[in-house]
Amino acid sequence: MTTTDFLVIGSGVAGLSFALRAAEYGKVTLLCKSDPLVSSSAKAQGGIAAVMDKNDTFEEHVADTLDAGAGLCDEAAVRTIVEEAPAAIEELLS
């Protein structure tokens, strides 16, 4: 038997990002189904697309994503993710 303030299931970038924030407020326990380094996040080596340069634009990233999504993307969700990506990258880097 164990007790914890936050139980995070999954050691990919989503789980680890949440765990980092939650650790400011209490004890975090991280649960994953095998080795913590086995995740899609660990396999992703191609980089993360985000607007990090003043010559790049949100509009181009939104257009690229909608094009690659072949009609399956929720445009509002794409726009939110593209616009919030630079801050998320800075947070990951820090």
Ligand X SMILES: Cc1cc2nc3c(=O)[nH]c(=O)nc-3n(C[C@H](O)[C@H](O)[C@H](O)COP(=O)(O)OP(=O)(O)OC[C@H]3O[C@@H](n4cnc5c(N)ncnc54)[C@H](O)[C@@H]3O)c2cc1C
Applying CB under 6 A, the residues found at the interface with ligand X are 9-15, 31-34, 38-41, 43-48
Q: Which ranges of the chain would DSSP assign to H, the alpha helix?
A: 13-22, 40-43, 58-69, 75-93
Distance of CA 7 to the CA centre of its chain: 18
Nearer to ligand X, 41 or 79 (CB): 41
Q: 39 CB contacts (<8 Å, ≥6 apart)?
A: 10, 11, 12, 32
We find the least distance from the C-beta atom of residue 50 to ligand X, in angstroms, to be 9
Contact 9, 15 (CB under 8 A): yes
We find the least distance from the C-beta atom of residue 13 to ligand X, in angstroms, to be 4
We find the least distance from the C-beta atom of residue 1 to ligand X, in angstroms, to be 19
Nearer to ligand X, 31 or 77 (CB): 31
Q: What are phi and psi of 48, to 5 degrees?
A: -120, 130
Nearer to ligand X, 40 or 57 (CB): 40
- The residue sitting closest to ligand X, measured at its beta carbon, is 12
